[in-house]
């Protein structure tokens, strides 16, 4: 069944939790390229994917958030872009089997059009190459996530939509200002995101990372107010990151995150998972709150 059919049945789908913080817990050091682990530490990455399938995820992502050529080039790994993305998707597909979904993760390039760091064509080519490799490796969804600039997100959505058959999800990262309004780092509101991302060709729109899950209720409401029909995906961090003794700590427990699930359902969420600091146990308890 395609994800569209499942969503049409009003089923709320469960996605997965963090990969980056999970890799760190498995011993990845700060200067390492996380995506090279798909090749050099394949079984550790597979173990993360399997943990989320065991926790009940209907959709798991891939360890490819920073695997665009533009980003990999910072590690001198640009020429291995296709190999790394194909490996990432094949690992998640191995864990997911044929009945669960694999969402190829695509993060920001770190280059800003606004600053003249990169051209539109360079961005498009970088995102196309990554999306094609993820699909070839076994992804049936491309998830463009942690975006804050509309222009980069639009180019990523178009590149994935025009060059693959995958379902396209895009999620941006918001924080709440003192007046209680949500904006990305680049000043984009949820309503502006919805308009631009639909125009670019996204099938599913939402938010990931940033603050904890409680603020996501307001984000879902704003998305639904802008478009009542677009499926919404939410992947919150396990709370706002705190820096203690040089270590990033996320304090929201699985139970705390799960306690907000009923309000997110009421607000209209369609796909629910976690971002930084969340673990398989967070996902399992969110699943329980969904009646699994």
Of the two residues 137 and 274, which places its CB atom closer to Zn ion in the complex?
274
Of the two residues 226 and 256, which places its CB atom closer to Zn ion in the complex?
256
CB 45 within 8 A of CB 67: no
For the CB of residue 212, give the shortest distance to Zn ion in the complex, in Å.
Answer: 11
Task: Write the CB contacts of 5 (distance below 8 Å, at least 6 apart in sequence).
Answer: none
Of the two residues 51 and 237, which places its CB atom closer to Zn ion in the complex?
237
Cβ–Cβ contacts within 10 Å for residue 156, how many?
A: 31
Angstrom distance (rounded) from CA 59 to CA 139: 10
Q: Is 209 in the site for Zn ion (CB under 5 A)?
A: yes
Residues binding Zn ion: what is the number (CB under 5 A)? 4
Of the two residues 188 and 276, which places its CB atom closer to Zn ion in the complex?
276
Instruction: Give the x/- contact pattern for Zn ion in 42-61, rule: CB under 5 A.
Output: --------------------
For the CB of residue 275, give the shortest distance to Zn ion in the complex, in Å.
Answer: 3
Retrieve residue 116's tokens: 């003249």
For the CB of residue 237, give the shortest distance to Zn ion in the complex, in Å.
Answer: 5
* Sheet hosting strand 204-208, strand order edge to edge: 13-14, 271-274, 232-236, 204-208, 167-172, 141-147, 101-106, 59-61
Of the two residues 163 and 240, which places its CB atom closer to Zn ion in the complex?
240
For the CB of residue 229, give the shortest distance to Zn ion in the complex, in Å.
Answer: 27
Which of 131, 141, 156, 276 is in the footprint of Zn ion by CB under 5 A?
Answer: 276
Retrieve residue 13's tokens: 């789908």
Region binding Zn ion by CB under 5 A among candidate stretches 2-10, 80-88, 93-101, 268-276: 268-276
Angstrom distance (rounded) from CA 189 to CA 221: 12
Q: Is 216 in the site for Zn ion (CB under 5 A)?
A: no
Q: Is 172 in the site for Zn ion (CB under 5 A)?
A: no
Phi, psi of 276 (to 5 degrees): -50, 135
Angstrom distance (rounded) from CA 224 to CA 204: 12
For the CB of residue 228, give the shortest distance to Zn ion in the complex, in Å.
Answer: 27
CB 66 within 8 A of CB 35: yes
Retrieve residue 7's tokens: 């969503």
Region binding Zn ion by CB under 5 A among candidate stretches 72-80, 208-216, 222-230, 259-267: 208-216
CB 183 within 8 A of CB 245: no
Retrieve residue 131's tokens: 């999306």
Angstrom distance (rounded) from CA 170 to CA 153: 8
CB 278 within 8 A of CB 238: yes
Of the two residues 96 and 236, which places its CB atom closer to Zn ion in the complex?
236
Instruction: Give the x/- contact pattern for Zn ion in 220-239, rule: CB under 5 A.
Output: -----------------x--
For the CB of residue 282, give the shortest distance to Zn ion in the complex, in Å.
Answer: 12
Of the two residues 84 and 275, which places its CB atom closer to Zn ion in the complex?
275
Of the two residues 154 and 237, which places its CB atom closer to Zn ion in the complex?
237
Region binding Zn ion by CB under 5 A among candidate stretches 45-53, 110-118, 191-199, 202-210: 202-210
The alpha helices in 104-172, defined as continuous H runs, are 120-137, 150-163
Q: Is 275 in the site for Zn ion (CB under 5 A)?
A: yes
Phi, psi of 31 (to 5 degrees): -85, -5
Q: Which residues bind Zn ion (CB under 5 A)?
A: 209, 237, 275-276
């Amino acid at each position: 069944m395609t994800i569209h059919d499942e969503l049409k049945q009003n089923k709320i789908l469960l996605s997965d939790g963090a990969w980056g913080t999970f890799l760190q817990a498995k011993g990845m050091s700060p200067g390492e390229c996380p995506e090279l682990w798909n090749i050099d530490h394949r079984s550790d990455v597979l173990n993360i994917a399997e943990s989320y399938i065991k926790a009940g995820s209907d959709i798991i992502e891939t360890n490819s958030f920073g695997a665009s050529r533009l980003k990999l080039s910072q590690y001198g790994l640009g020429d291995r872009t296709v190999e790394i993305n194909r490996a990432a998707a094949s690992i998640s597909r191995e864990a997911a089997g044929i009945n669960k979904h694999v969402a190829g993760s695509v993060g920001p390039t770190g280059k800003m059009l606004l600053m003249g760091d990169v051209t539109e064509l360079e961005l498009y080519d970088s995102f196309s190459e990554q999306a094609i490799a993820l699909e070839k490796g076994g992804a049936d969804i491309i998830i463009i996530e942690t975006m804050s600039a509309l222009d980069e997100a639009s180019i990523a959505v178009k590149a994935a939509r025009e060059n693959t058959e995958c379902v396209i999800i895009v999620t941006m990262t918001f924080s709440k200002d003192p007046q209680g309004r949500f904006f990305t780092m680049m000043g984009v509101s949820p309503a502006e995101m919805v308009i631009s991302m639909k125009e670019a060709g996204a099938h599913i729109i939402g938010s990931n990372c940033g603050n904890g899950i409680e603020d996501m209720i307001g984000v879902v409401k704003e998305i639904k107010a802008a478009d009542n029909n677009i499926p919404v995906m939410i992947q919150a961090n396990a709370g706002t990151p705190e820096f203690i003794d040089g270590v990033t700590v996320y304090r929201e427990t699985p139970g705390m995150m799960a306690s907000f699930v009923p309000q997110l359902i009421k607000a209209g969420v369609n796909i629910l998972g976690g971002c930084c600091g969340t673990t398989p146990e967070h996902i399992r308890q969110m699943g329980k709150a969904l009646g699994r």
